[in-house]
């Protein structure tokens, strides 16, 4: 019973960490990386489809992505989708290839991205703490129903606290890494 609650809490905390990494990938660092375009969706035969399902995305050099659609008629739709996304990118097509240059980040935009990264990290920390609260509540309910002893409850709560501390430390490390990436010129 206690192990099930611990396993559930651990998996939910790790999902929060994975979500943080996914959100960090959406924050542009000035270097070209295919995951920057993960949030872009394209109109494909009447439905919105992720860009990576209708084209291959590659890094041409440190500041340029190339998008090669699998169908020629998709070039203008993909270009429009990239332009209308909130990424601030201006694609240029040359035949069947779309080049997406990454603009240089100004000091002001870097600070804005750092602020956004800190907010994402704080959301992840809050999610992890909520999971801890839920698990501790489950332990208290088990104690109230006399299914576990007080000692077992305290040991379980300590284990959940250690798990929480470990995940929060990983979140802080990921934030520090992202801030370092953003401040590099």
Domain ranges across the chain: 2-26+106-183, 34-101
Task: Supply the pLDDT for residue 30.
Answer: 66
Q: What is the average per-residue pLDDT within 127-138?
A: 94
For the chain, the farthest-separated pair of C-alpha atoms sits apart, in whole angstroms, at 72
Residue 9 and residue 163 in contact, taking contact as beta carbons nearer than 8 Å: yes
130 pLDDT band (50/70/90 cuts)?
Answer: very high
Distances (CA, A) of 38 to 34, 104, 123, 171, 183: 7, 20, 21, 21, 23
Mean pLDDT of the chain: 87
Structure tokens at 24: 């960090």
Most confidently modeled range among 25-29, 37-41, 139-143: 139-143
185 pLDDT band (50/70/90 cuts)?
Answer: low
pTM of the predicted model as reported, rounded to 2 decimal places: 0.72
For residue 165, pLDDT beyond 90: yes
Residue 132 and residue 108 in contact, taking contact as beta carbons nearer than 8 Å: no
CATH 3.30.1360.40 fits 34-101, yes or no: yes
**Dist. CA 70–CA 133, nearest whole Å:** 48
Task: Return phi, psi of residue 77, to 5°.
Answer: -65, -40
> Domain 2-26+106-183: which topology?
Topoisomerase I; Chain A, domain 4 (1.10.132)
**Dist. CA 110–CA 30, nearest whole Å:** 9
34-101 has the same fold as 2-26+106-183: no
For residue 181, pLDDT beyond 70: yes
**Dist. CA 125–CA 120, nearest whole Å:** 9
**Dist. CA 125–CA 59, nearest whole Å:** 32
């Amino acid at each position: 019973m206690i192990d099930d609650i611990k396993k559930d809490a651990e998996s939910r905390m790790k999902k929060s960490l994975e979500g943080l990494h996914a959100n960090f990938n959406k924050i542009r660092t000035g270097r070209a990386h295919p995951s920057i375009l993960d949030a872009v969706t394209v109109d494909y035969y009447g439905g919105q489809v992720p860009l990576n399902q209708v084209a291959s995305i590659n890094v041409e050099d440190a500041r340029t992505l190339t998008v090669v659609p699998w169908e020629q008629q998709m070039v203008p739709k993909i270009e429009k989708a990239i332009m209308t996304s909130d990424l601030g990118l201006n694609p240029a097509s040359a035949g069947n290839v779309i080049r997406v240059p990454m603009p240089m980040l100004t000091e002001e935009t870097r600070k804005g991205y750092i602020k956004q990264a800190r907010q994402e990290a704080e959301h992840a920390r809050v999610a992890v703490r909520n999971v801890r609260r839920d698990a501790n509540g489950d332990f208290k309910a088990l104690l109230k129903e006399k299914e576990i002893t007080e000692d077992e409850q305290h040991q379980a709560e300590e284990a959940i606290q250690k798990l929480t501390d470990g995940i929060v430390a990983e979140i802080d490390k990921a934030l520090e890494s992202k801030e370092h990436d953003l401040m590099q010129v």
